[in-house]
Amino acid sequence: MPLFRRKKSKSSGKKKVMSREKKKTTSPSIIPLGTDSKGPSLKVEENKFYILVKKPEEDDEDEIKEIILYSTVKASIIQIKEYLKNDVDVENIELMAVKILDEALEAESVPWNKIAVELIG
């Protein structure tokens, strides 16, 4: 189950703009998907979690980058299958594994050959 998903604007194609001290910036909303009384949470198993990134198509200016956190690779594969069913180009999908070390994080991209094995299995 993903923890956060960025909310897409369903307006007339205009980007939401928020002003702060006379500076205009675009700020996509973040929707917590799994919450409890303490707020959003993600239980990390074996000191590893996964980040799935769907980049916008180059010709779609209104689409924003979607970033979802998962506690297991199998959960992220379900979303990758959905992206592929919806004709998202594999060049716009990236899965990263993040290891929690003693006092640091180590992130690496999951290669497509490993993703393919999970997709088939």
**Could you give the CA distance from residue 92 to residue 37 in angstroms, rounded to a whole number?**
35
For residue 14, pLDDT beyond 90: no
Does the global pTM surpass 0.75?
Answer: no
**Could you give the CA distance from residue 91 to residue 10 in angstroms, rounded to a whole number?**
25
Q: Which residues pair with 100 in a beta bridge?
A: 105
Q: In a 10 Å sphere around its CB, with 0-12 CB exposed, 13-18 middle and 19+ buried, how is residue 60 labelled?
A: exposed
Determine how many CB atoms are found less than 10 A away from the CB of residue 57.
13
Buried b (16+ CB within 10 A) or exposed e, 92-119: bbbbebeeeeeeeeeeeebeeeebeebe
Contact 121, 113 (CB under 8 A): no
Tell me: the pLDDT tens digits for 38-84? 667 788 888 999 999 999 988 777 888 999 999 999 999 999 999 99
Task: Give residue 97's pLDDT.
Answer: 97
